[in-house]
Structure 1
């Protein structure tokens, strides 16, 4: 099985090389790994022990960020190295101030894993939610370097529980401690002999709660809203936008802020083609105009055509819609819930515990059709009903905090011998 795994890793790299000519993501993936170890050797102080955080992409980075930031405070003597598998994470966070080094994760081969460990000499390796790479885990285990997997979720459909999943199960046995989100994950892991498990919750709760207490401010967005009821749609895709266009036309008294998942010019133009003429404007156009805009009633839709604003935009809304639910799955619902507003999303939410819980608590609403979206929107015109849903959403986030503290407590007790340096501890 290991032989097939190694072949698969090389085949993956080969296929990226084939498609890179017409796939920008593949091109970035390969370019970012070119001469990677040479760059590491030139930039890293040899022999210094590092704390290593690995993230699949940007979403996992934001999820694990509270732990990284608290680790930096509690253990400042250890430099932090961050790696990303995906360009969407690396390209946006390659200059992250609290990391001493940020790189792409090298291809998962035995030699690459050994070289990485030789350069960074990790004191600890932390993986967020998933990303199980055989050679990296195995070489860390052999070097007796602790491995933590935080905010993890396990389901019976995953490869670990298939008859052919022996190699992947062996990866799990290399982990020093799992911090999982729920009891179901504990139970599932026990069936394959994994007992080094703590129910630690989801660190995203800590992250979104912190963000909601001190969100970034955007005066231009505030002026656009100007006391009107506001519907914020985040990380939307085409199927989401087709439905939203119907709602926009039916509720002319509402303002709509739409932050698409992709902001390529052709994607923005496709969105604009769905909207009533002269009802929309692009944030970048307004931002780059030296004159302050004067908004009128017909200015109904503000399209956010840049990255990095969404997590704070929900502060201006009374209702949130989270995209992705007509594809592989919805994006982050907790960011919106933390601001105390009801959250709507498409039908593919079953893999997300927080979405299922929001629905159970009547603070989240899943829709599959235009009529269902309009029906929910009609119900939420009742101010008291909408406010109550929002209160429930926010309480759910506040009650879910604490995962970061549990993980840091484990680090202090089982990994590090130095006394805490943070005045908060």
Structure 2
């Protein structure tokens, strides 16, 4: 029988269902999307390792770990769920041998159906997403759950604390949390996770794997733009930021008329909208998705493709990581640092407090208070080659010094898989 907190939670979800379905329609993939949201998936002949990555960022962070699990366990089927269509696209591109489904809506009959059909031997939830009914369905089916790369910002913690009885029940059903930092782990414990189930492993985002040919691909791309012109990237932008960044670019053009901005919106649903915004502000621009050439007259290059952010970072001189001029909380600061590009950000970094702190302490992060300060910050770095090189080297050192979380989290997962295999062997022996 459902607990009172879950009954209330489920009732509220049902009341909000029309609004939720309208929102989920934006993440529709195909005719099967609605069935997947209802928990209808295909059974697997092989034992299933199920991993959930909310969207693009989680898929990119999880990719090295999931690849290793695929290599080490060819006798098991990797199934990856996402909340978003963009996350789905990344799974299919980066993990083609994995099955992908959209995560079922967190109603008990959906989640029971999903777990009963898939029968995972292990579930791995990346970062934060705590879906009470899904976690309960896994508990009832004796599916051990791991929260990998566990992240819980102060903002998320305050939000979850308002529904602590519901969250506590969910966390009591989780076998272990591999927290990316001590402060994240402390917040999980404060919400109800037993202390002995928390381990601080560091962030697997430091274990980002940069393709060996990336610098050559970036140089080839850059050669078509003009190797001497200044190029900066504004990456993972949100609504409300694009206009500010384009205004900053207008100011830059007054000082350096040949400057090129690589503008990369976070969500593909906004690609056309941002293109219209760029045109409305009078910029000469090209769209990467249309393979339009970048000429000496091009002022903005719209990065409206998926899976190319590292390449575009590597092709730029300076990188502004967005989601930080508006109260989103920032995005992954380690990607530009790992490819050797100086990192600039705005003031809103609550999603990356620990990473920002390490980069800041090393002198690898330049922060601006608002968009008005951005043009001068970019100009200062372009004029000071020594400062640029210091940021590059400091960023690379921070990334290298903090690698290792991948190995720790894989060890934790391997231990649980070994326990599950032993239980399966015992069950087969008893029935033979």
TM-score, normalised on structure 1? 0.85
Partner of 1:416: 418
Instruction: Tell me the CA shift for residue 389 of structure 1.
Output: 0.9
Instruction: Tell me the CA shift for residue 52 of structure 1.
Output: 0.1
Partner of 2:397: 395
Change (3 A) 1:268 1:75: same
Deviations 1:201-237 (A, max 9, x none): 1112212xx1254438263443214244421221234
How far apart in 2 are the matches of 1:172 and 1:162?
13
Partner of 1:369: 370
CA contact (8 A) 2:232 2:260 kept: yes
Deviations 1:340-368 (A, max 9, x none): 22211222113312234323332212223
Deviations 1:327-385 (A, max 9, x none): 32322221111112221122211331223432333221222334421332232120001
SS of alignment partner, residue 186 of structure 1: helix
Partner of 2:182: 183
CA contact (8 A) 1:72 1:98 kept: no
Change (3 A) 1:299 1:185: closer
Change (3 A) 1:358 1:225: farther
Q: Within 5 Å, which residues of 2 pair with 1:351-362? A: 351-353=351-353, 354-362=355-363
Q: Within 5 Å, which residues of 2 pair with 1:277-292? A: 278=284, 280-285=285-290, 287=291
Q: Within 5 Å, which residues of 2 pair with 1:288-327? A: 295-296=295-296, 298-327=297-326
How far apart in 1 are the matches of 2:232 and 2:164?
44
Partner of 2:429: none
- In the alignment, structure 2 segments of 5+ residues that lack a partner are 423-432
Change (3 A) 1:111 1:185: same
CA contact (8 A) 1:149 1:179 kept: yes
CA contact (8 A) 1:358 1:364 kept: yes
Change (3 A) 1:349 1:273: same
Deviations 1:293-340 (A, max 9, x none): 6843x4443332322221221112221011222332322221111112
Change (3 A) 1:71 1:33: same
Instruction: Tell me the CA shift for residue 162 of structure 1.
Output: 2.7
How far apart in 1 are the matches of 2:321 and 2:212?
21
Count of matched residue pairs: 403
Q: Within 5 Å, which residues of 2 pair with 1:129-144? A: 129-144=127-142
- In the alignment, structure 1 segments of 5+ residues that lack a partner are 420-425
Change (3 A) 1:339 1:95: closer
CA contact (8 A) 2:145 2:174 kept: yes
Q: Within 5 Å, which residues of 2 pair with 1:14-413? A: 14-17=18-21, 19=22, 25=26, 32-34=33-35, 40-41=41-42, 44-45=43-44, 48-94=46-92, 97-155=95-153, 157=155, 158-159=157-158, 162=161, 164-191=163-190, 192=192, 194-195=194-195, 196-207=197-208, 210-211=209-210, 213-215=212-214, 217=217, 219-236=220-237, 237-238=241-242, 239-262=244-267, 263-274=270-281, 276=283, 278=284, 280-285=285-290, 287=291, 295-296=295-296, 298-327=297-326, 328-353=328-353, 354-380=355-381, 381-413=383-415
SS of alignment partner, residue 350 of structure 2: coil
Instruction: Tell me the CA shift for residue 26 of structure 1.
Output: 6.0
Greater CA drift, 381-390 or 219-228: 219-228
CA contact (8 A) 1:311 1:335 kept: yes
Instruction: Tell me the CA shift for residue 246 of structure 1.
Output: 2.0
Change (3 A) 1:189 1:345: same
Partner of 2:428: none
CA contact (8 A) 1:281 1:303 kept: yes
Larger fraction in helix: 2
* C-alpha RMSD over aligned residues: 2.9
CA contact (8 A) 1:138 1:171 kept: yes
Q: Is the aligned partner of 1:3 residue 2:7?
A: yes
Change (3 A) 1:114 1:268: same
Partner of 1:422: none
Instruction: Tell me the CA shift for residue 160 of structure 1.
Output: 7.3
Change (3 A) 1:412 1:315: same
CA contact (8 A) 1:248 1:256 kept: no
How far apart in 2 are the matches of 1:131 and 1:29?
24
